[in-house]
Amino acid sequence: MSPALRRRLTTLVFVLPLLVYLVAFYVYPLYRNLDLSLRDYTVRSFVAGDAPFSGWDNFRTVLDDPTFGPAMRHTMVFTFVSIAFQYVIGLALAVFFNRHFRLSTVLRALFLIPWLLPLIVSASTWSWMFNSESGVVNHLLGTVGLAPVGWLTSPDWALTAVIVANIWIGIPFNLVILYSGLQNIPGELYEAAALDGAGAWQQFRRITFPLLRPVSAITLLLGLVYTLKVFDLIWIMTKGGPGDASSTLATWSYQLGFGTLLPKFGPGAAVGDILILIALVFGLLYIRVQRRQEA
């Protein structure tokens, strides 16, 4: 064996575990999902494994479904509104905690709690708080003289309610990453700016924000991909209801595949594919942004 070949083989052996991992946990499930979405599965052919190839039929079914439009719209509203608020609040808190006052570390740690709680706990708690009969939110509204709101029972409010809960859950992520970004901004810049007479707002606008841009871009793009696929929170709080007032592509896909007594695997997988495609677009965008920053 020539040394060159040997070296090639050695590298291959080192890479092999990763390759096996990627194939087993990424490529194969993706392939299976694509396969499911391109075949006409009934419960019988699912078990027998002889579902006929049906091309784009499942996609056509899904796109023609009256649920598709609202689900797509809700997904976009849910994602972008969540991200916007998470980012703004996360940034404000990061700047706030960057001042190092007494107990700031303790407080910052407390802010991480939403991130540490299991989602089923936080989502159930939110759905109790938003309960239209006995929820604490309506109780508080009542004490200031406002009429109770059907947070989870009114089609006008359900999406808002799940977005509020999701923002709360997403703030710690933004806080942590933006805070670490702030640490990398040299303190001399602020000192120099202060000498030049820049106020707090100007310091933020001219120094903090521009220097935080690379970190911000990554936070936002990661947040996009995470939020796009949020399923458990919505499922626990509203199951996409009332009607389909808060259903997103993720909950709809689950609803099709597992939500009824008679699973529709094909269309469910097709919705999943569409979701993956959207996430992929954002993922590529992320890689591009990252490359531009490195260059």
Partner 1 sequence: MIPTRRTLLAVAVATLLPLTACGGGSGSSGSSSSAGGTYTFWDPYPQFDASSDWGKRVSACGTAAGVKLKRTAYDTTDLGNKALLAAQQGNAPDVMLVDNPVVSTLVEAGILNKTGDLGLDTASIQKNVIGAGTIDGASYGVPIGANTLALYYNKKVLSAAGVDPASVRDWASLTAALKKVKAAGKKGITFSAINTEEGSFQFLPWFWGAGGDLTKLDSAGGVAALTLWKQWVDAGYAPKDVLQNTQTTSWQEFATGDYAFSENGTWQLGNADKAGFPYGVVNIPGRTGGSAPVPTGGEFVTVPVQKDSSRYDVSKKIVTCLTSATNLLATDTTLMYVAPTAAVQAEQVKKNAELKPWVAAVAAARGRTSGGLGTKYPTISQPMWTAVQAALSGGRSPQDALDTAQAAARKG
- Contacts with partner 1, residue ranges (CB under 8 A): 42-44, 46-49, 66, 127, 131-133, 150, 152-155, 238-245, 258-263
- Closer CB to partner 1, 42 or 203, in the complex: 42
Decide whether 88 or 140 has the Cβ nearer to partner 1.
140
Q: Using the CB atoms, write b or e for 243-259: b if 16+ within 10 Å.
A: ebbbbbbbbbbbbbbeb
Q: Of 214 and 241, which CB lies nearer to partner 1 in the complex structure?
A: 241
Closest approach, Cβ 250 to partner 1, in A, equals: 16
Smallest gap from residue 123 Cβ to partner 1 (A): 12
Residue 119 · residue 233 · CB < 8 Å: yes
Of the pair 43, 287, the CB lying nearest partner 1 is at 43
Residue closer to partner 1, measured from CB, 29 or 155: 155
Minimum distance, C-beta of residue 243 to partner 1, in the bound complex (Å): 4
Rg (C-alpha) for the chain, rounded Å, is 24
Q: How far is the CB of 245 from partner 1 (least distance, A)?
A: 7
* Cβ contact 265:36 at 8 Å: yes
Q: What angle do CA 42, 45, 47 make, to 5 degrees?
A: 110
* Least distance from partner 1 to the Cβ atom of residue 145, Å: 20
Helical spans, DSSP H, in the chain: 3-22, 28-37, 43-48, 57-64, 68-97, 104-111, 113-116, 119-129, 136-143, 158-183, 187-195, 200-203, 209-211, 213-228, 232-237, 249-258, 265-294
3-state secondary structure of 53: strand
65 or 222: whose CB is closer to partner 1? 65
Q: Output the six-digit token pair for 231.
A: 């399923």
**Which one-letter amino acid corresponds to residue 136?**
V
Least separation in angstroms between residue 278's CB and partner 1 is 25
